[in-house]
Amino acid sequence: MDALLHVGLFLPLLAGIALLIWPSLGRRLAVAASGVTFLIAAWLFARASGEAYTFQALLLEPIQMYYALRLDGVGLVLWLAVALTTLLAVFIAKVPTRMLGWALLMESGLLGIFAADDLILFYVFFEATLIPSLLMLGLYGGRERLKAAYTFALFTLAGSLPMLAALFAVRYLGGAPSFLYSDLAAHPVSGSVADWVFLGFLVAFAVKTPLFPLHAWLPSFHAENHPSGLADAMGTLYKVGLFAFFKWAIPLAPEGFAQFQGLLLVVAAFSAIYAAWLAFAAKDWKRLLAYGGVSHMGLGALGLFSGNAEGVTGALFLLAASMVYTGGLFLVVGRIAERTETLEIGPVRGIAKSAPALSVLTMFLVMAMIGLPGLSGFPGEFMALLGAWKISPWLTFIAFTAVIAAAAYALTAYQALFQEEQNRVVSDLTPREWAFAVAIVAGVVLAGVYPKMFTQMIHPLSEALAKLLGGGA
């Protein structure tokens, strides 16, 4: 089992490097590598027994830093989501071959983020993933790519420094013997130190959730990225803030979290409704999806910050589900942009007539995004609502008006592109796109119809966190 863990983690890295050196190896290698990674993730998921897969080796003796991996239920679900989305992305996106290499490098980083059980290791993965993401934006982006890349880098780095400080504070002021999660969690910091530590983590993770007002980098990030949607899909996977709060920030400084909980709930609720509202005014698909994503993460954050088991499970489920459907939507939009040569909403209309299957696929993912029950967007959103209502009915009400707004912005944009008078003839799905469609639809339906498969992996861990916070199950 150990070996599989490492193979899954580093295979994309190796394949990515190979692709960067010898781009002539082509897409086939990228698909094969991410396919194997997906199979490994699925295998690990299927074989999961309630015990986490773990591995530990001392890496740096003087500071007691370990190469420690721990893939528990939450990690497995997220691995599955990341591996599936990456596979679909490299399978479908029409991009220069080297870009696929960068995407694979990113995949390794992301898998590492979800598997790392040592805080330094986590930090390394968390930061290392930035590099391919930035390079994809800087190398293959649109006209304003450098400005977008600057913005992205500055936001991320501005978050990382406080996190680095928090990371040392949490160990040395808490008195833990190493950076291992188990050691750190056994020695939580308290008092005003806990506040500062949590604040440090908060800045870094809020950028990556993203929460208002630290979401400001996201719209230009997506708008300027390569129109194929590959980098956007990978960027969507990189929105790991909720997971990081769940795994690190909250358990390591529960007192600090308690201190900020009220504020965070308000910010989360505000993010949800604010971004949904903005999405309505968006004039191109990528900004629309970017704001839509912020809105959904706001709902997830509301669930997570409510601190009870169902809210936390909902948040993590929503995180994993949104990786797949938002990533998928970016890719689909990329395919559409390739046909119509624009990402703008408005100039091209009525293409459902000539591309019915494409329109159904898009409708399907849009419905998943706006949380139609029976598709993967719903269970997470719903559990987040159940959890949040217990803590703050009013905020829940305000935040969840976003589901009305979601219907408004998503269907308005859908109508503008696919319905009304046809003014452009585009081709329907190619066989390759059909394969993509079948895979993603299967995933979205499975998670929507039988969420138990995933929630039963997540829920015990959420219950543990809720217990830690004194919320009870």
CB of 178 or CB of 455, closer to other proteins = 455
- What 3-state class would DSSP assign to 130? helix
Contact, 225 vs 235, CB < 8 A?
A: yes
Least Å distance between CB 279 and other proteins?
Answer: 9
Contact, 292 vs 409, CB < 8 A?
A: yes
Least Å distance between CB 202 and other proteins?
Answer: 17
CB of 153 or CB of 185, closer to other proteins = 153
Neighbours of 467 (CB within 10 A): 12
Least Å distance between CB 447 and other proteins?
Answer: 11
Least Å distance between CB 251 and other proteins?
Answer: 20
Give the chain's end-to-end CA distance (angstroms, integer).
32
**Of 311, 269, 312, residue with least CA distance to 294:** 269
CB of 121 or CB of 316, closer to other proteins = 316
Which positions lie near other proteins, rule CB under 8 A? Answer: 151, 154-155, 213, 216-217, 219-220, 274, 277-278, 280-282, 309-310, 313, 350, 352-353, 356, 360, 367, 372-374, 378-379, 382-383, 385-386, 388-390, 393, 396-397, 400-401, 403-404, 407-408, 411-412, 415, 418-422, 450-452, 455-456, 459
- How many Å apart are CA 260 and CA 263, to the nearest integer? 5
Query: Which long-range contacts does 165-168 make (Cβ < 8 Å, 24+ apart)?
Result: 165/200, 166/196, 166/197, 166/198, 166/199, 166/200, 166/201, 167/119, 167/120, 167/123, 167/200
Q: Which residues contact 169 (CB under 8 A, 6 or more apart)?
A: 189, 193, 196, 197, 200
CB of 77 or CB of 167, closer to other proteins = 77
Least Å distance between CB 217 and other proteins?
Answer: 7
CB of 60 or CB of 453, closer to other proteins = 453
CB of 190 or CB of 415, closer to other proteins = 415
Q: What pairs with residue 314 in β-bridges?
A: none
Least Å distance between CB 78 and other proteins?
Answer: 18
